[in-house]
């Protein structure tokens, strides 16, 4: 099995690009959302750690956002609870898809959490900052303070680019992405 890890800036379109590869995708953000909606154990742990901020089940992202912005240590508390649960889900995904030729890992903190392996192929999804910012502003939960906090826990974009085997240019058109992905897959296989 060939593991392709998509890395890049927040809002660069990693999840958008992942859909076009045509292989199974592990989308960590989607899995986190599922945890917040359906996992009582996760809720209980987060509620205990952030008892002043978390009021309702399922966990609401607005409550988490306020918690993160109100106290610098809250993001770490959330990460310490959520990431081990995501790693378990990732391992189940890998086991389920072990017979696939290629799988896609769409995990925002892939390198930071050392979830990548030495032989993974890293693809840096590049988009112009202006385009990224324009798209982030359209998100219903857009919060610049929150984005800055997340960026602080990430490795630099220069480092991620340097670690990558390929750069996939994303101008947010299907045609460009499909062409870039086709070229990358051709080189890999």
Q: What is the pTM of this model?
A: 0.92
pLDDT of 143: 86
pLDDT above 90 as % of the chain:
79
Residue 135 pLDDT > 90:
no
Residue 184 pLDDT > 90:
yes
pLDDT of 97: 98
* Calpha distance 13→15 (Å, rounded): 6
Mean pLDDT, the chain, whole residue set: 94
Assign 16 to helix, strand or coil.
Answer: helix
Residue 72 pLDDT > 90:
no
> Predicted confidence band at 79 (pLDDT cuts at 50, 70, 90)?
very high
Neighbours of 114 (CB within 10 A): 8
| Domain range summary for the chain, segments of one domain joined by + | 1-24+99-189, 37-96
pLDDT digits (tens, 9 = 90+) for 29-59: 999 999 999 999 999 999 999 999 999 899 9
CA distances from 21 to 4, 43, 150, 152, 153 (A): 10, 33, 27, 29, 28
Contact 42, 50 (CB under 8 A): no
Helix 72-96 × helix 61-70 angle, to 10°:
130
* Strands ordered across the beta sheet of 25-27: 25-27, 102-106, 2-8, 121-126, 166-169
The topology (CATH level 3) of 1-24+99-189 is Rossmann fold (3.40.50)
pLDDT of 56: 87
């Amino acid at each position: 099995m060939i593991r392709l890890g998509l890395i890049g800036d927040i809002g660069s379109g990693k999840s958008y690009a992942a859909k076009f590869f045509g292989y199974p995708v592990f989308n960590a953000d989607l899995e986190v959302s599922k945890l917040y909606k359906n996992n009582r154990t996760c809720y209980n742990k987060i509620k205990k750690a952030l008892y002043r901020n978390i009021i309702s089940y399922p966990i609401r992202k607005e409550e988490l956002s306020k918690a993160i912005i109100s106290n610098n240590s809250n993001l770490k508390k959330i990460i310490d609870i959520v990431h081990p649960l995501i790693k378990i889900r990732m391992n189940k995904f890998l086991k389920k898809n072990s017979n696939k030729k290629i799988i896609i890992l769409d995990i925002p903190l892939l390198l930071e959490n050392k979830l990548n392996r030495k032989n993974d192929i890293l693809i840096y999804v590049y988009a112009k900052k202006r385009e990224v910012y324009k798209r982030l502003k359209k998100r219903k939960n857009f919060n610049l303070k929150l984005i800055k906090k997340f960026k602080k826990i990430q490795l630099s974009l220069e480092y991620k680019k340097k670690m990558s085997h390929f750069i996939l240019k994303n101008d947010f058109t299907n045609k460009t992405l499909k062409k870039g992905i086709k070229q990358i897959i051709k080189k890999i296989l």
